[in-house]
């Protein structure tokens, strides 16, 4: 294993991860602007993007806060959205597990949907590559989303203070969310989960503190998993 080949893996990852800049920018801008408008100060908005780096969870927290949910339920809702990352972490572990701890510490920090999608398809294409090559590729693929998430949040928070009321930005959160999840509806199981979630959340909307959301989400996960199990035949 030479340094040159790891370097080329890094650059290949960077190239494959770059298109996600276009996907990251609008949401970072929007998050920065909406969070600022909602009353968070500049340092708080940036801290959120730096500590969390997860668009969907950050929007979830914002929505829950605008709903005046208790602190514990704001955190719980955001973490529930991020539970999918445990699955990413588990499926990347065989590829990154041999790397030194300090590398894995950083790798965990920058694990987002984009990085996972790019990296796991690379590992499926080239399973025989060494752990060092895989780690280099992983960092390369993560850098664009990582850097531009900070940058776009910064821009959004900066510009957010000057956005006029008539722009009806209150509705940007639902639109952004729909735009994130609609393309995820790839299979009948995903559709079943989404419909269960919508129906149960509306039925249980009378419950205080967004408790209905947690019940609806739990049922929807079970619905999605069960439909997947049945449509996949007898697989365990």
Contact set for another protein, span 162-191 (CB under 8 A) = 168, 170-185, 189-190
DSSP track, 29-81: HHHHHHHHHHT--HHHHHHHHHHH--HHHHHHHHHHHHTT--HHHHHHHHHHH
Please, which residue, 66 or 161, has the CB nearer to another protein?
66
Distance CA 161, CA 139 (A): 34
Does residue number 218 form part of the binding site for another protein (CB under 8 A)?
yes
- Per-position x/- string for 26-55, each x denoting binding to another protein as judged by CB under 8 A, each - no binding: x-----------xxx---x--xx--xxxx-
Does residue number 193 form part of the binding site for another protein (CB under 8 A)?
yes
Q: Please state the closest distance from residue 224 (CB atom) to another protein, in A.
A: 3
Show the DSSP H helices in the chain as ranges: 3-17, 20-38, 42-52, 55-66, 71-82, 84-96, 101-109, 113-125, 131-160, 172-181, 188-203, 211-231
Site for another protein in 50-89 (CB under 8 A): 51-54, 56-58, 60-61, 63, 65-68, 71, 74-75, 77-89
Buried b or exposed e, range 89-102, using 16+ CB within 10 angstroms: eeebeebbeebeee
**What is the crossing angle of helices 113-125 and 131-160, to 10°?**
160
Please, which residue, 6 or 49, has the CB nearer to another protein?
49
> Which window, 97-105, 122-130, 142-150, 154-162, contacts another protein (CB under 8 A)?
97-105
Number of residues binding to another protein, judged by CB under 8 A: 97
Q: Which of 13, 17, 34, 96 binds another protein (CB under 8 A)?
A: 96
Please, which residue, 159 or 222, has the CB nearer to another protein?
222
- Cα three-residue angle 103-107-111, rounded to 5 degrees: 180
Distance CA 231, CA 236 (A): 12
Please, which residue, 147 or 198, has the CB nearer to another protein?
198
Please, which residue, 208 or 236, has the CB nearer to another protein?
236
Does residue number 221 form part of the binding site for another protein (CB under 8 A)?
yes
Does residue number 206 form part of the binding site for another protein (CB under 8 A)?
no
Please, which residue, 33 or 61, has the CB nearer to another protein?
61
Does residue number 118 form part of the binding site for another protein (CB under 8 A)?
no
For residue 17, count other CB atoms closer than 10 A to its CB: 24
């Amino acid at each position: 294993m030479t340094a040159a080949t790891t370097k080329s893996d890094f650059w290949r990852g960077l190239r494959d991860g770059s298109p996600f800049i276009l996907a990251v920018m609008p949401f970072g801008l929007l998050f920065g602007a909406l969070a600022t408008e909602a009353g968070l100060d500049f340092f708080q908005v940036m801290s959120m993007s730096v500590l969390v780096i997860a668009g969907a969870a950050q929007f979830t927290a914002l929505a829950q806060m605008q709903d005046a949910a208790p602190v514990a339920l704001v955190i719980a809702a955001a973490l529930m959205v991020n539970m999918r990352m445990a699955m990413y972490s588990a499926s990347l572990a065989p590829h990154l597990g041999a790397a030194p701890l300090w590398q894995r510490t950083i790798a965990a920090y920058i694990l987002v949907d984009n990085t996972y999608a790019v990296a796991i398809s690379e590992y499926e294409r080239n399973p025989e590559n060494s752990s060092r090559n895989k780690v280099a590729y992983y960092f390369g693929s993560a850098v664009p989303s990582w850097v531009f998430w900070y940058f776009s949040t910064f821009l959004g928070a900066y510009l957010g203070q000057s956005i006029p009321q008539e722009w009806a930005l209150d509705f940007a959160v639902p639109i952004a969310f729909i735009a994130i999840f609609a393309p995820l509806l790839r299979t009948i199981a995903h559709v079943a989960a989404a419909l269960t979630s919508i129906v149960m959340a509306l039925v249980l909307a009378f419950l205080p503190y967004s408790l209905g959301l947690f019940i609806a989400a739990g049922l929807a996960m079970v619905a999605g998993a069960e439909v997947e199990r049945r449509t996949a035949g007898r697989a365990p």
